[in-house]
Structure 1
Amino acid sequence: MVLNRNKTRVVEAITERNLISIMNDTKWRELQDEVVNTLLFPPPYQAKYVLEDLLHPEEFEKDVWYWGDWKEGIVPFYNVEWIKVRPRYLKHRGSLVSPELIDITEDFVNILKELSIPYRQDNNTYFIYGYISDASVLTL
């Protein structure tokens, strides 16, 4: 019952805000499976959920040292307004040595293209929308 109530609240918010659905559970699951099963590491991301104003994690403007939780972190899919993915991370090499930038951008973009997932790119960051108000900003 709680799940149905939450989903109803999400649908009401989507309608109230005139958002357009871009992804569905199948597309999210395909993306999740490809990221988890084919990439060198699951890239870090920031998520915005329909019913929340707070971003998860709150700060995501620079490269980070951690990976993304692609198995459980973005579910339930119907609640994801967007995720902002940076397909790279800073690998720690010691306290006296600068971290190494590990970059899988090309592989990540190939997945988006293979699965026909629309996205928006801004520098080294890729936005994948569950819902959006203006779909003309997306690349296929």
Structure 2
Amino acid sequence: MKVITERNLVSIMNDTKWRELQDAVINNLLFPPPYQIKYLLENQLHPEEFEADVSYWGDWKEGIVPFYSVEWIRVRPRYLKYRGRLVSPEVVDITDDFVKLLMELSIPYRLRSDTYYIYGYLKDTSILTL
């Protein structure tokens, strides 16, 4: 709470909303999209590099808990599917389904550089799309 107060942050998501998102991603999407996470009490991002498409899925079961400590997650709703050493990977894209899910759950987000930011805490809520 001290960090939230010191940084003048506003709570955007609560445990219920995070759990709804988590369940919907796991149960309704073709695959759990990869994400980068920023925790309130850490300066390091997990994973540190997330500027291009990746070849792995996100750990939506245990990776974003505890919810109260998540400052934001940056979701890339696609991944590179390996097709062999001599063939370029296939981009598997579920962006439309992911955005539809956010809209259905009324989860505010920010689209930036073809990734979707979902904030647990934020200073300026005017940057969000609902």
Shared topology, TM-score over 0.5? yes
Match of 1:8 in 2: none
> Is 2:71 the counterpart of 1:81?
yes
CA RMSD of aligned residues (A): 0.5
Match of 1:51 in 2: 41
Residue 124 of structure 1 and its aligned partner are, at CA, apart by 1.8
Secondary structure of 2:99's partner?
Answer: helix
Paired residue for 2:110, among 95, 120, 124? 120
Residue type of the alignment partner of 2:14: N
> Is 2:11 the counterpart of 1:21?
yes
Match of 2:128 in 1: 138
Secondary structure of 2:46's partner?
Answer: coil
2: distance between equivalents of 1:32 and 1:62?
23
1: distance between equivalents of 2:13 and 2:70?
9
Aligned length: 130
State how 1:99-110 maps to structure 2 within 5 Å. 99-110=89-100
Match of 1:6 in 2: none
Residue by residue over 1:2-56, the C-alpha shift from the partner in whole angstroms, topping out at 9 and shown as x without a partner, is: xxxxxxxxx1111111001000000000000000001000000000000000000
Secondary structure of 2:2's partner?
Answer: helix
Residue 122 of structure 1 and its aligned partner are, at CA, apart by 1.3
Secondary structure of 2:74's partner?
Answer: strand
Which residues of structure 1 form unaligned runs of 5+? 1-10
Secondary structure of 2:13's partner?
Answer: coil
Percent of residue pairs identical: 75
Residue type of the alignment partner of 1:19: L
**TM-score, normalisation: structure 1:** 0.92
Residue 123 of structure 1 and its aligned partner are, at CA, apart by 3.2
**TM-score, normalisation: structure 2:** 0.99
Paired residue for 2:60, among 62, 70, 74? 70
1: distance between equivalents of 2:72 and 2:113?
17
2: distance between equivalents of 1:87 and 1:74?
16
Paired residue for 1:31, among 21, 41, 45? 21
